[in-house]
Amino acid sequence: MANDKRMSPEELSAYHDKMLNQAYNKISSGLKNLENPILYKLFLEHVGALKGLGLNNSILVHEQMDNAVHLETYKDWQEKHGVQVNTGSKAIRKLKNDSFDMEVAKDVLDSSGKLVRDDEGNPVRKKTWITIPQFKTEAVFDISQTNGVKEKVIDHSAPKTQQELISCLESMLNVSIPRVLEDANIDQDIDTISIIQAIVDNNMQNKTDVFVKDEHGITNRISKSDEMVMFEKESIAYAVCKNYNIEMNPEKLLEAAKNLDKSDTNLFRGLLDSVHSNAISTMRSIDLKFQEIFQDKSINAPEQDKSRPKLSLVNKLAKNKEILMQKGQNKEKQTKAKEMGLGD
């Protein structure tokens, strides 16, 4: 094991290198898997559960456990949540930034970019600190591998019902989503998908380029084709819908994934990175709006209101109907009483 104190420094370093190489190999094979439209759809369905991870780690975790929802180290499960990892559980590996700073001597340049030299013609150097990028793998475990209760551990600061989600979306776009109560489930699904697609379209409107890293690590901007734009929008909308349990027909997504040219691996990866970051950004915006609307209200609400059960839109209308009927009945009684001379 990595923490085996019997390991020499050399053995420990070799172990970390081995784990890192295995992780990169899994990411590479995972990227290849995402070229398959069906496997890509399944990955998008998992993205929302991995909000805190970047693209590389999302792919890496998905390749190891495609239903993972909350990851912690063995120690953090114990100290943060007071739960125990089940005996015999296999660790999930993810990348961890292990960069470090180093002091180096750096040449001094003048305003024109030329070396500054001393009287003897030697380059003038100054001491400075630079960051050396470095990664290692970290062993983590999913909540399903512990004796913890999912509902008690995972943060639920996000819409849990369709009505809460609709309220958040309405607030984000400052519009009212039409509903037909007689067929609520179907119509609300359709309206919710439409408004999510509108938010995605709005967010992606000015993002006309995709950023692509070449083999030398140099980032280039490439204009998106119509196929790329369609692939991005359908992917983001589908991932967001699945995150909030909205059933979106995957037909357009699968078609867009099938039609996308994936011959340029770097370009495909750049598109995946765009899809991933924008999908997560949209989910976070919705979750923040939920906290703003619902959690702030619950904090500021009077104590007696907190214990009252929340009414759905249908129940509210039914309640209002009852009140109106009662008022009408009371009015009729008062009128009859007056006619009989029994009024004030």
Taking 50 as the threshold, does the pLDDT of residue 238 lie above it?
A: yes
Least confident range of 67-71, 155-159, 260-264: 155-159
Q: Residue 118: phi, psi to the nearest 5? A: -85, -175
Structure tokens at 251: 């037909």
Alpha-carbon distances, residue 121 vs 106, 115, 117 (angstroms): 16, 10, 5
Q: Are strands 209-213 and 219-223 parallel, antiparallel or unpaired?
A: antiparallel
Inter-helix orientation angle 226-243/265-290, to 10°: 40
DSSP 241: H
For the chain, what percent of residues have pLDDT higher than 90? 50
Q: What is the residue-wise DSSP string for 262-288?
A: ---HHHHHHHHHHHHHHHHHHHHHHHH
Q: What is the residue-wise DSSP string for 179-211?
A: --GGGHHHHHHHHHHHHHHHHHHHHHTT--EEE
CA pair distance 16, 111, nearest whole angstrom: 43
Taking 70 as the threshold, does the pLDDT of residue 280 lie above it?
A: yes
Taking 80 as the threshold, does the pLDDT of residue 2 lie above it?
A: no
pLDDT digits (tens, 9 = 90+) for 124-151: 888 888 887 788 999 999 999 999 777 7
Q: Are 170 and 191 in contact (CB under 8 A)?
A: no
pLDDT digits (tens, 9 = 90+) for 85-103: 999 999 999 999 877 788 8
* Locus of tokens 């040449």: 107
CA pair distance 58, 239, nearest whole angstrom: 13
Contacts of 47 (CB under 8 A, 6+ apart): 58, 239, 243, 276, 279, 280
Alpha-carbon distances, residue 266 vs 39, 75, 217, 277 (angstroms): 19, 37, 10, 16
Residue 144's nearest CA partner among 82, 72, 75, 78 is 72
Whole-model pTM?
0.75
